[in-house]
Amino acid sequence: MRLRLRPRDDSYYEMFTDSANNLVIGARLLVELMSDGADREAITEKMRACEHAGDDATHAIMRRLNKSSAPPLHREDIYRLASNLDDVIDSMEAAVDLINLYGLEQLPKGIIDQIEVLERAAELTAEAMPRLRSMKDLTRYWIEINQLENQADRIYRKLLAKLFSGEYDALTVLKLKDVIEELETAADAFEHVANTVETIVVKNG
């Protein structure tokens, strides 16, 4: 039996879980933004607070990593996962900010479809993070996230086709394109999280 000379710092798993739970809050704010009569200014402020919380969580992980002599995972994997989680909330916040700044009153239905995919991806990610400690029951997670990302790609392409169908004036097309690209980037970032989790499990499982 190999003796462990130094105690392993397992607090990272809780920190990853906190970051993932923050993504659920962000995704639900996106859903709220799409409801009739939504207070966009208030939601934008709440989303900004979520983005700041994500930054704080990421910085806390990095500070701990710099001080830790016995992280439970490879340092590069801890760094990558923390960064991937932060990328998701950054793109969510950017999408909400653009909708508010551009004053986009009418949004294509496909944007709601994008947000529903993000909400499901956030829920799956939050459910998966606590299981990272045991490295068990995670295969279905990254498979489902990959499927959601494929769905997000199809929604994104349909939205682009609608934008360039002639239904919208040129300026509105540019504004909406910025928003749907940020939401697509968030979907991609969720897949990056899942890919990193898969890499960690392969290395340590």
Residue environment code for 165-193, b if the CB has 16+ CB neighbours within 10 A, otherwise e: eeebeeeebebbebbbbbbbbbbbbbbbb
> With 80 as the cut, is the pLDDT of residue 140 above it?
yes
pTM over 0.75: yes
User: Residue 3: pLDDT band by 50, 70, 90 thresholds?
Assistant: very low
Between CA 28 and CA 45 the distance in angstroms is: 14
Q: Looking at residue 67, what is its pLDDT?
A: 87
Cβ atoms of 15 and 61 closer than 8 Å: yes
Cβ atoms of 116 and 155 closer than 8 Å: no
**Structure confidence by residue, pLDDT tens digits, 97-113:** 999 999 998 899 999 99
* Alpha-carbon dihedral sign for residues 152, 153, 156, 161: negative
- Mean per-residue pLDDT, 14-21: 97
Between CA 175 and CA 103 the distance in angstroms is: 9
**Structure confidence by residue, pLDDT tens digits, 42-98:** 999 999 999 999 999 999 999 999 987 788 899 999 999 999 999 999 999 999 999
Q: Looking at residue 6, what is its pLDDT?
A: 44
